[in-house]
Amino acid sequence: MSKTWLITGCSAGFGLSLTRFILAQGHNVIATSRNPSKTPELVKEITSNPNGRWLSLDVTSPKDKIETVIREAKKEFGGIDVLVNNAGYSVLGAAEDIPEDKAKAQFEVNFWGMIRTTQAVLPQMRSRKSGTIVNISSIAGLDALPTCAIYAASKFALEAWSEALSREVDSLGLRVLIVEPGAFRTNFLTKDAAPKIPPSEAYRTGVVQTVLDRFDTMNGAQIGDPDKAAKTIFEVVLGTGVGEGKTNMLRLPLGPDCYARATGSNKRRRENLEAMQEIAISTNLE
């Protein structure tokens, strides 16, 4: 049985790969982007499929405007079965150097945008007692590298919110899935998608500059295949293929680099927790 998917951030990257793959499986897709007029050929490609639609959706818009778009989307196919919160970008730079306005803008898209669209879609899912919220996070939502302080913070926040939501809606018949990609060959590390804050003097040598330079060399050389990721996400949502028996899982790590970093992060946390055990259990009232 085909489902109706609404996906944010479809002009490139994971959003576009997901849209194309899901349409190819015969499902309905409502693709969205902030400014569809900038990608007329993509819009034409998607809407030429009878199961494809493309709507303008800026996730930083006020909640009432987003709710209007969601109502319009619902009219297209009678309801939304799967919401994929994919819209996002990264600000890179030393934590000390990132201006407050840049940090707030990062959260507006990566965190608050996800909340607005989810809150707009949840009522119709609750009324049907069926639906899946897919939130695209990152390995940065588990492991914060130098230069990624604000981006990682937005993804840590997304993961915490998603984890709490999953516990709240499970008894209502709804599911939440957090997707944690590693490095995939998308436009994510381009200047537009990952603007860099020039390091101040204290950070022009050392780890901050080293990581910024590494990201420059990674752009276009990532080994992750976004089309394979799209297929995997699709199957894990539906519980088919590689996703069979995995529909009770909250997190979907993608990429061997993601798995390695997550494993290392978990190991460091466990070692920290065990080293602090005696202190942790010593603070009750006598």
CATH number of 4-279: 3.30.70.20, 3.40.50.720, 3.40.50.300, 3.50.50.60?
3.40.50.720
Give CA–CA dist 126/156, Å, rounded: 26
Catalytic, 137? Answer yes
- The CA–CA distances, whole Å, from 134 to 27, 74, 140, 249 equal 16, 18, 17, 12
Catalytic residue among 11, 17, 33, 137: 137
Q: Report whether pLDDT(220) > 70.
A: no
Q: Report whether pLDDT(204) > 80.
A: yes
Catalytic, 151? Answer yes
Measured from the Cβ of residue 146, the count of other Cβ atoms closer than 10 Å reads: 18
Q: For a pLDDT cut of 90, what percent of the chain falls above it?
A: 87
Give CA–CA dist 33/57, Å, rounded: 5
Residue 215 phi/psi, 5-degree rounding, is -60, -35
* Residue 190: band (very low, low, confident or very high) from pLDDT cuts 50, 70, 90: low
pLDDT digits (tens, 9 = 90+) for 25-41: 999 999 999 999 999 99
* Residue 189: band (very low, low, confident or very high) from pLDDT cuts 50, 70, 90: low
Per-domain residue ranges of the chain? 4-279
Across the chain, mean pLDDT equals 94
As a whole number, mean pLDDT of residues 59-64 equals 95
* Residue 195: band (very low, low, confident or very high) from pLDDT cuts 50, 70, 90: confident
Measured from the Cβ of residue 113, the count of other Cβ atoms closer than 10 Å reads: 23
Q: Where are the beta strands (DSSP E) in 116-256?
A: 131-136, 174-181, 251-254
pLDDT digits (tens, 9 = 90+) for 127-140: 999 999 999 999 99
Q: Report whether pLDDT(283) > 60.
A: yes
pTM of the model: 0.94
Provide the pLDDT for residue 196.
85
pLDDT digits (tens, 9 = 90+) for 235-280: 999 999 999 999 999 999 999 999 999 999 999 999 999 999 999 9
Catalytic residue among 33, 138, 151, 162: 151
Catalytic residue among 11, 90, 138, 155: 155
